[in-house]
Amino acid sequence: MIEYKWILFDKVNGSQQVLPPERKNVLCQMKSSHSCFPDPIVLGYLRFAAGDDECPQFITHGAEGHGEVYRWCDCLPDDFKRPLDLVKSDSPIERFLK
């Protein structure tokens, strides 16, 4: 069985914590907003709000409304690309990626 190293994330601590490289795809675990469901693991990447190093946030396409990221794992290869089918076909993101 493969063990993954999960690193806790607290957006209050800003850049005073271990963070992945900006825009690198990582696995993110979100605190479920519903007590009857397990905490989901989703694909995401780090960005800084308005370019401010003190405001890190994880972008998790398609997982909005499922809670907040509370830990992340950098276990994907550096050249991993997010499959386009994870993005709605009419979204501005897909139009940008084309």
Quickly state the pLDDT bin for 46 (edges 50, 70, 90).
very high
Instruction: Please give the mean pLDDT across all residues of the chain.
Output: 83
Cα gap 70→32, rounded to integer Å: 10
Please report the pLDDT score of residue 69 as a whole number: 93
Q: In this model, does residue 28 exceed pLDDT 80?
A: yes
DSSP 32: -
> How many CB atoms sit inside 10 A of residue 43's CB?
18
CB 38 within 8 A of CB 27: no
